[in-house]
Amino acid sequence: MATAFSNNEKEIIRGKLQQAAKECLGKYGVKKTTVDQLVQMAGISKGAFYKFYPKKEILFFHVLEDYQKSLMKDLANRLEKELTIGVEQFTDFIFQLYQNVKQSFLMNLIQQQELEYLMRKIPPDMIMNHHLLDDMFMEQVFSYIKIKENVNKSVVVASLRSIFMSMMYMEEIGEQEFDEVLKLLIKGIALQIIEGV
C-alpha cells in the first residue's frame, strides 16, 4: 500500500513539477509536453502526478499564474518607490511588464499560439478566478495613481489584457514596430485614466 506524502513532501514535489513545467513550456510548449516528461523530470510516478493535478494543462496554468504573481510583486515594489505616477511612469511600468513577458518562457507559448489552446483546456471557473487576479493586481496599481472620476476600472483591466493578447499577433502587427505600438496603446490608456492630464 502506497504511503501518503507529508505536507513537506507535497511542497517539494509541487515545486519540482512547476519547475519541470516551466522548462517544458519554454522548450516544447503545451501540446508537445507529456505527463511522462514532467514526472521523469520531477522524479515521481505518473500516478503521483494525478494526485496533484488532474491534467497537465492545470499544472501549466498554475505555473502561468505564479509567474504573473511574481511580475505583479515586482511592479508593486517599483511603484512603491515612486512619489508620483504620471502618464509616462505608468506607460513605462506597464511596458516593462510586457517586456519581461517577452523575455520569459511564456513567450514560447505566445509565439506558438498555444495560450489560446491552454485556455480552452482550463475550466471556466479557473479562468474567472484568474481575471479576478488581474483585477486585484490593477487595484493595487490604481492605489499608486490618481484616477479620473468615472473611470471604469474593469474596462481598463480588460484593455490591458487585450494589449497583452495582441502579443500573439506580433508578426502580423509588425515585429519591428511592435514595441512602439505597445507603448502607444499603453500611453493611450494612461492618458484616459490618469488625473491631471
Note the pLDDT tens digit of each residue in 23-51: 999 889 999 999 999 999 999 999 999 99
How sure is the predictor about 1, in pLDDT bands with cuts at 50, 70 and 90? very low
How sure is the predictor about 69, in pLDDT bands with cuts at 50, 70 and 90? confident
* Contact call for residues 39 and 46 (beta carbons, < 8 A): yes
Is 153 a residue whose pLDDT tops 70? yes
Q: Residue 8 falls within a domain, yes or no? A: no
pTM score, whole prediction: 0.81
Q: Residue 112 falls within a domain, yes or no? A: yes
- Rounded Cα distance between 105 and 27, Å, is 8
pLDDT at position 2, please?
54
| Burial of 25: CB neighbours in 10 Å, binned 0-12, 13-18, 19+ | buried
Q: Residue 41 falls within a domain, yes or no? A: no
Q: Residue 70 falls within a domain, yes or no? A: yes
How many structural domains does the chain have?
A: 1
Per-residue pLDDT tens digits for 106-150? 888 887 888 888 989 999 999 888 888 878 888 888 888 888 999
Q: Residue 20 falls within a domain, yes or no? A: no
Residue 197 corresponds to which amino acid? Answer: V
Is 196 a residue whose pLDDT tops 50? yes
pLDDT at position 132, please?
83
* Contact call for residues 91 and 178 (beta carbons, < 8 A): no
Owning domain of residue 83: 55-193
